[in-house]
């Protein structure tokens, strides 16, 4: 039998100076500096992907719920009888039709209970105006705000919240 010659493993040279010993440590640090950002980017991407897929399903469910038709309540209106008042100065008069938009039927019924007080307040408000105060669009918008304030005044806080807006059905100044 033939014997194989023993192979010797090469020995690493022992660094002769401390500077030679620092070179392998610098290489390890360089590898670490290259690997660490890559690992962080991969972990961030995995976390972001997990978050997206976990929340994406919820958004799809919400979108389906949003597609379902929501029953829209028709608006509720209270039409007041037309007002005819003399304007300031006595030469002109105003004939106006008002409609109140309210939140629900209960508010409508409550307004009807307070209607004599509301009509009185509106007659006083309208008769205090001059024809010049009713000419422009801005003046009419201001009048609608004033009518809304006067309408809400006799109502309690709960009922007055239900009065949403004042609409003009007609307006004639002569």
Per-residue model confidence as pLDDT tens digits over 35-57: 878 888 888 888 887 878 777 66
Give the pLDDT of residue 23: 61
Residue with tokens 């469910």: 61
pTM across the whole model:
0.59
Q: Are 169 and 99 in contact (CB under 8 A)?
A: yes
The CA-to-CA distance between both ends of the chain, in Å, stands at 135
Give the pLDDT of residue 58: 60
Q: Are 108 and 102 in contact (CB under 8 A)?
A: yes
Whether the predicted pLDDT of 112 surpasses 80: yes
Domain 76-173 classification at class level? alpha beta
3-state DSSP assignment of residue 129: coil
Paired tokens of 88: 């300031």
């Amino acid at each position: 039998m033939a014997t194989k010659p023993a192979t010797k493993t090469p020995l690493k040279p022992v660094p002769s100076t401390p500077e030679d010993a620092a070179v392998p440590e610098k290489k390890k640090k360089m590898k670490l500096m290259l690997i660490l950002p890559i690992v962080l980017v991969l972990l961030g991407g995995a976390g972001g992907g997990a978050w997206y897929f976990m929340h994406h399903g919820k958004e799809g469910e919400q979108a389906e719920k949003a597609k379902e038709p929501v029953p829209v309540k028709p608006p509720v209106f209270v039409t007041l009888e037309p007002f005819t008042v003399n304007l300031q100065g006595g030469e002109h008069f105003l004939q106006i039709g008002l409609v109140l938009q309210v939140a629900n039927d209960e508010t409508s019924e409550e307004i009807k209970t307070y209607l004599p007080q509301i009509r009185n307040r509106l007659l006083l408000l309208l008769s205090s105006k001059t024809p010049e105060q009713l000419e422009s669009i801005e003046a009419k918008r201001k009048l609608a705000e004033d009518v809304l304030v006067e309408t809400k005044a006799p109502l309690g806080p709960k009922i007055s919240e239900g009065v949403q807006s004042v609409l003009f059905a007609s307006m004639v100044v002569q």
